[in-house]
Amino acid sequence: MSLKKVFLATTLALSSGITLASGVSYDYLDVSLQEYDGADGYNFELSKSFSSNLYGRIDYTDLDGDFGGEFSATRLNLGYLASLNSSVDFIAELGYEDIDVGVADDNGFNARLGFRGMATNQLELGAFASYSDVLESTDITVEGRYHFTDQLSLALEIGNDDELDEHYGVSVRYSF
């Protein structure tokens, strides 16, 4: 099954209204290990809600791989969420990004659209499409997150980026 079909199936499942649990949190610290085709590294993400519909997200990724040295990306985004039902949110983010690849450094904007929702009381699903102005690439990612408690969860993600190819990740999130 192609990644586009997985993204479509996840999107349809999240927007169908068959979910059972309450909403998702936008106040968290997330740490992940990332594996890209030819590179691996880590990601830190901090998200904080400002109101019922606005949140901010800081994202830092550091990879070491086959593309001529280290890759690092810092993104500062402002996000808007619209609840589709009691457990599924549509998100839209726009922000600034600074990307360093080897000796090259550039900055620009990034955008992210997606869905986050609870499929059960403990299973959160997400589907996202992101665009990077600096990399001139689009990334499609789906994730499944198991909530052990209201504060602690573990996720697996799979995605495909036009420039960085396939990627996989595992993350631990603390919600506050």
Domains of the chain and any CATH numbers: 3-135+144-175 (2.40.160.20)
Q: Residue 17 above 50 pLDDT? A: no
Contacts of residues 150-158 at CB distance under 8 Å and 24 or more positions apart, as own/partner, are: 150/175, 151/175, 151/176, 153/124, 155/32, 155/124, 157/32, 158/3, 158/6
**Cα angle, residue 109 at apex, residues 135 and 143 outer, rounded to 5°:** 70
How far, in Å, CA of 105 to CA of 175, rounded?
A: 32
Taking only the tens place, the pLDDT of each residue in 41-55 is 999 999 999 999 999
DSSP 66: T
| pLDDT at res. 70 | 87
Q: With contact defined as beta carbons under 8 Å apart, do 107 and 97 qualify?
A: yes
Residue 145 token pair: 């997150």
Taking only the tens place, the pLDDT of each residue in 98-124 is 999 887 899 999 999 999 999 999 999
Q: pTM of this prediction? A: 0.85
State the DSSP H helix or E strand holding residue 152, giving kind and residue range, or none if neither: strand 152-161
